[in-house]
Amino acid sequence: MWYCMTCEISTLPALYAVLMTGLIGFLVVLYIWLSMRKGTRFVRHYPPPDINLLDKPYESADPNELLSFCNKGQCNGAWKPPRTHHCSTCNVCRLDFDHHCPWLGNCVSLGSMKEFLYLLFFVPLVFLLGISPAASILYSQARLAYGVSMADPWINDVWWSWYASWIVFCGPLGRPVIGTLLGYRVLKDSRVPSSGYGQMLEQPHMRVSIVALVALIMSIFAMGLGVSTLRNLLRGRTTLETLKARAYRNKFVVIPAVNAADSETGSIADMRKVITVPPQENLYILDWTKLWGKPLFTCSAYDSSSEYLWPTVNPNIIHQARNKDK
């Protein structure tokens, strides 16, 4: 931003500075919010329900209609509701678990998915806007450093002619990168001393190029992770459910029914039916109106509800099971 303010460029300096300050601040707030409450966000211990009183289809741990319980870490045998997963890193069972993000040091659940996607897609946007005023200058300096590196006898001897340069530092892809960085070292001796604010960009500096390269790699990584996560969500799955589908493990769903003889008491009789769901079949329905329509920086209804909110089982699974009984 300081370069934009001190050089003659086509963008409006003041507007650019305000825009970049706001976007970077928004990214910082997103990151802090996603990293907070490692042991409490989307962590609730609900009393296990009586399966004889359940009147909604539910996921079973096995064909015997049993519920899942967790004895790991701090869970101490607590009921493990559907779509809940125990994170071994956070040592808690997380509701609507998607994955544990090592960059955040926290888990990402469906309730925080909107903020997570904002973070992933805003990182490359902020990078493009931030580098745009100086992109042509950095590119010209990189080409100059590469040319100097190719012509320098010492660099040719220690790098370009070294057979291992095709193997180390990411192989053929990293070879020109290291060569270009060595070219910056040669250009360092030819820089004209300057105390101006723009001298870090007006003259080749290895540090500036390394920062830009790291930011580019992080932006590409964030965009790829965002596209992959969004792709899973559009298919109606979390990241964990996508990985489980590749493991080819069948899932079980219990479809309860009310016995006419017990209709006065309202209890569920032994008319439950256990169906096997193939691993590639979506067990649950993702409600995009709730996922994307919730306000930013708010948790799901689990944090304010004293009762467990059962996820909606895919109606196609129930419909297919009932058609088989006809």
DSSP string, 151-191: H-HHHIIIIIT-GGGGTTTTGGGTHHHHHHHHHHHHHHTTP
Q: For the whole model, what pTM was predicted?
A: 0.85
**Mean pLDDT lowest for which of 6-20, 59-73, 158-172, 271-285?**
6-20
Q: What string of DSSP letters covers 207-276?
A: HHHHHHHHHHHHHHHHHHHHHHHHHHHHTT--HHHHHHHHTT--EEEEE----GGGTTTT---S--EEEE
Residue 323, helix vs strand vs coil: helix
Distance CA 191, CA 173 (A): 28
Average pLDDT (20-32) is: 95
Q: 113: part of which helix (H) or strand (E)?
A: helix 113-131
Is the model's pLDDT at 26 over the cut of 70? yes
pLDDT value of residue 260: 39
* pLDDT tens figures, 219-235: 999 999 999 999 999 88
Percent of the chain with pLDDT over 90: 39
User: In the predicted model, is pLDDT for residue 216 greater than 60?
Assistant: yes
Is the confidence at residue 245, as pLDDT, over 90? no
Q: Is the pLDDT of residue 285 over 80?
A: yes
**Is a pLDDT exceeding 70 seen at residue 5?**
no
Percent of the chain with pLDDT over 70: 86
Residue with the larger pLDDT of the pair 36 and 260: 36
